[in-house]
């Protein structure tokens, strides 16, 4: 679709992250914009650490917990924006290209004792850990002999929802928001429906790396010195749900409070996409979806849970290899099946935590944190019957 702009030269804007240009934990479509741009312009923005920059080295897990319990109904995220795009109107699509991502030199991972995350009851104790991010090597040391490659992406990037009022930043939706899709990094493009005039774009919840599921509640959380976005308005294009484009794939999504329904939405969106892109009948699109199935779980900790499928752009792309069912030379592997996708994800995730405790001598809290930042959890191809989840953690993390 053709982007509609001012007709002049695109402009680059700088947007710093200050108390005046950020909101802590909520979206509101009546919030006055902190920047106005035109379609085709670029915004170079900063983001803050969580809770208006309170979560920085030196804070304790007890203090982190108070930033949530003392402010019920508010998310933890510090969101830079909103940005008003002059041409954007309800019914349009906003195209947001992620040109460059530069994190701060540190990040953190934590689980709040007995609250949130995939397993709050199983982890009544909490922990917070801070990490130095080596931006030259693009890695961080989790512990001596354990090194995590960095893959920065904005956990939250989205527009104002249609409903008036103030809403927590935690649940994602048709407006995108807290999608936590780790492929949406540098070089990727988000396509999101517009619900209010000006679209009103925010970003925050900045990640240095994240595992599928984000199981202990947090990725490797950081803030960005630079999040460089080019923003276009696409007229005449209808989207029910956001889509993502990478250099190699299209990504469709399915999100719901119930992972079974999220999977149903994902299959419907993927089938619809293939019908549109390949101009094939529904039955052929459904078979193509199963033949090329490559569908991870994005997150299970944001009230509304997420799934997504990656669809190769190349017409002659090879079929994905079968998912491993047991440990390989490259990865620790755990698998669970259940009629309910959420329970299969619970079983496979907890089995991985237990495996790393047993096989690598990690504490339970460290295993919980490590899988939240590195685990790859994927849904087996599914048409009917039980859902099967395969979780993998690469052995290459251990350098000694």
My answer on whether 304 and 387 are in the same domain is no
Looking at residue 8, its pLDDT comes to 74
- Domain ends where: 299, 319, 339? 319
My answer on whether 185 and 53 are in the same domain is yes
The CATH number linked to 204 is 2.60.120.580
Of 277, 274, 251, residue with least CA distance to 188: 251
CA angle 149, 211, 151 (to 5 degrees): 35
| Inter-residue contact 51 to 97 (CB < 8 Å) | no
Q: What domain count does the chain have?
A: 3
Q: Which residues contact 63 (CB under 8 A, 6 or more apart)?
A: 54
Structural domain range at position 42 = 12-234
Looking at residue 2, its pLDDT comes to 42
User: How far apart are alpha carbons 368 and 366 in whole angstroms?
Assistant: 5
User: How far apart are alpha carbons 7 and 203 in whole angstroms?
Assistant: 27
Looking at residue 1, its pLDDT comes to 39
My answer on whether 69 and 87 are in the same domain is yes
In-domain check, residue 163 = yes
Looking at residue 400, its pLDDT comes to 81
- Calculate the CA 367 to chain-centre distance: 21
User: How far apart are alpha carbons 365 and 391 in whole angstroms?
Assistant: 18
Q: Which residues of the chain have pLDDT under 70?
A: 1-7
The CATH number linked to 301 is 3.10.28
My answer on whether 334 and 395 are in the same domain is yes
Token representation of residue 290: 């199963």
My answer on whether 175 and 61 are in the same domain is yes
Q: Where do we find the tokens 């959380």?
A: 221
- Domain ends where: 282, 303, 319? 319
- Domain ends where: 180, 204, 234? 234
My answer on whether 315 and 341 are in the same domain is no
Cis peptide before 82 (omega within 30 of 0): yes
Looking at residue 4, its pLDDT comes to 47
Q: Where do we find the tokens 């923005």?
A: 45
My answer on whether 388 and 369 are in the same domain is yes
My answer on whether 175 and 270 are in the same domain is no
My answer on whether 216 and 353 are in the same domain is no
pLDDT in tens, 352-388: 999 999 999 999 999 999 999 999 999 999 999 999 9
My answer on whether 229 and 273 are in the same domain is no
């Amino acid at each position: 679709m053709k982007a509609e702009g001012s007709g002049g030269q695109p402009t680059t804007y700088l947007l710093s992250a200050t108390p005046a240009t950020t909101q802590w934990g909520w979206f509101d479509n009546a919030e006055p914009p902190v920047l106005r741009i035109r379609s085709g312009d670029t915004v170079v923005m900063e983001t803050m650490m969580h809770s208006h920059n309170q979560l920085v080295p030196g804070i304790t897990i007890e203090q982190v917990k108070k930033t949530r319990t003392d402010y019920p109904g508010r998310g933890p995220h510090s969101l830079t924006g909103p940005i008003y795009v002059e041409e954007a109107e309800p019914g349009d699509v906003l195209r947001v290209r992620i040109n460059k991502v530069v994190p701060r030199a540190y990040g953190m991972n934590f689980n709040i004792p007995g609250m949130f995350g995939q397993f709050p009851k199983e982890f009544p104790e909490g922990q917070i850990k801070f990490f130095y991010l080596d931006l030259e090597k693009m890695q961080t040391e989790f512990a001596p002999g354990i090194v995590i490659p960095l893959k920065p992406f904005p956990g939250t990037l989205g527009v104002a929802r249609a409903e008036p009022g103030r809403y927590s930043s935690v649940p994602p939706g048709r407006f995108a928001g807290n999608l936590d899709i780790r492929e949406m990094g540098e070089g990727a493009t988000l396509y999101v429906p517009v619900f209010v005039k000006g679209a009103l774009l925010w970003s925050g919840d900045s990640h240095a790396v994240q595992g599928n599921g984000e199981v202990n509640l947090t990725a490797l959380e950081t803030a960005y010195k630079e999040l460089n976005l080019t923003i276009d308005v696409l007229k005449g294009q209808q989207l029910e749900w956001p889509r993502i484009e990478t250099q190699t794939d299209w990504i469709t999504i399915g999100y719901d409070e119930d992972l079974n329904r999220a999977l149903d939405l994902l299959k419907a969106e993927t089938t619809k996409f293939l019908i549109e892109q390949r101009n094939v009948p529904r039955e052929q699109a459904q078979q193509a979806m199963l033949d090329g199935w490559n569908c991870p779980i994005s997150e299970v900790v944001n009230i509304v849970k997420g799934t997504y499928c990656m669809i190769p752009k190349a017409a002659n792309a090879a079929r994905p290899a079968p998912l491993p069912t047991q440990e390989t030379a490259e990865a620790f592997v755990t698998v669970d099946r259940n009629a309910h996708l959420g329970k299969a994800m619970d079983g496979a995730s907890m089995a991985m935590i237990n495996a790393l405790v047993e096989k690598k001598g990690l504490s339970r809290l460290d295993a919980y944190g490590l899988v939240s930042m590195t685990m790859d959890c994927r849904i087996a191809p599914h048409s009917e019957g039980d859902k099967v989840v395969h979780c993998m953690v690469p052995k290459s993390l251990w350098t000694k």
